[in-house]
């Protein structure tokens, strides 16, 4: 017995006659390739801009943290620099401090390196401290601080005992 081959697809005449009680489904249109590419490009541009905002936000957060730490240690930095100026011999620049051997600050992990220059813009002799705030040996903020010898030190040099007259 030989198997009989049946055509799984109905003939065109059978397809043309509608089945009673069923409506013909409307033709469904899909998205074209160009529409999908345009949608993906809009999505990529939006994603990249959001990622850019994240990086800006992280940088600003780090800057604010450094500013907060600088506000904590600034009085200490000012007193250290003033002491260096007052202890230097008149006419000499105070001793500089390198990154490799920084002045350690009270805040853990923070240090200070200083390069001194004379300040040509002040009427009284003074210095410019080109200081770098270091965190774990890496510079996080550069400061230029003008410093003059303290009044008490100048009076001691003149032999006045360091007391300010009333």
Q: What is the per-residue pLDDT for 165?
A: 44
Beta strand 126-135 with 110-118 is antiparallel
The pLDDT profile of the chain, 166 residues, written as one tens digit per residue, is 666 656 566 555 555 566 666 676 676 778 899 999 999 999 999 999 999 999 999 999 989 998 998 899 899 988 888 888 888 877 778 888 888 888 888 888 889 999 888 877 766 667 888 899 998 888 989 988 888 877 655 555 555 554 444 4
- Determine, yes or no, domain membership for 151: yes
Residue at 17 is within a domain: no
DSSP notation for 30-65: ---HHHHHHHHHHHHHHHHHHHHHHHHHHHHHHHHH
Establish if 4 belongs to a structural domain.
Answer: no
- Position 156 scores a pLDDT of 56
Q: What is the pLDDT of residue 86?
A: 82
Tell whether 18 is covered by a domain: no
Could you give the dihedral angle defined by the CA atoms of residues 125, 119, 112 and 153, in that order, rounded to the nearest 10 degrees? 10
pLDDT given at position 154: 54
Q: Residue 131: how many CB atoms within 10 A of its CB?
A: 22
Q: Is residue 131 part of a domain?
A: yes
Kindly state whether residue 67 falls inside one of the protein's structural domains: yes
Asked if the structure places residue 12 within a domain, the reply is no
pLDDT at 34: 94
What pLDDT is attached to residue 57?
93
Residue 153 CA to residue 162 CA, distance in Å, equals 7
Annotate 81-108 with DSSP letters as a single string: HHHHHHHSPTTSPPPPB-SSSPEEPSST
Residue 141's contacts (CB-CB under 8 Å, 6 or more residues apart) are 66, 70, 132, 133
**Does residue 166 form part of some domain?**
no
Domain count, the chain: 1
In angstroms, rounded to a whole number, what is the distance separating the alpha carbons of residues 83 and 70? Answer: 19
Residue 87 has phi, psi (to 5 degrees) of -85, -15
Domain span including residue 111: 39-158
pTM: 0.57
Q: Give the DSSP H or E segment for 70.
A: helix 33-87
Q: Which residue has the tokens 């002491």?
A: 83
């Amino acid at each position: 017995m030989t198997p009989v081959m049946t055509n799984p697809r109905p003939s065109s005449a059978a397809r043309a006659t509608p089945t009673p009680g069923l409506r013909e489904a409307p033709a469904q249109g899909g998205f074209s390739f160009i529409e999908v590419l345009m949608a993906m490009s809009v999505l990529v541009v939006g994603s990249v801009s959001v990622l850019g905002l994240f990086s800006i936000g992280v940088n600003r957060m780090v800057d604010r943290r450094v500013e907060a730490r600088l506000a904590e240690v600034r009085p200490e930095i000012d007193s250290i620099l003033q002491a260096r100026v007052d202890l230097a011999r008149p006419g000499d620049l105070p001793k500089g401090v390198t990154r490799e051997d920084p002045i350690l600050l009270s805040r853990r992990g923070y240090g200070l390196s200083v390069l001194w220059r004379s300040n040509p813009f002040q009427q009284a002799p003074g210095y410019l401290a080109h200081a770098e705030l270091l965190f774990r040996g890496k510079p996080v903020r550069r400061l230029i601080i003008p410093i003059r010898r303290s009044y008490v030190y100048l009076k001691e040099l003149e032999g006045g005992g360091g007391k300010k007259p009333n």
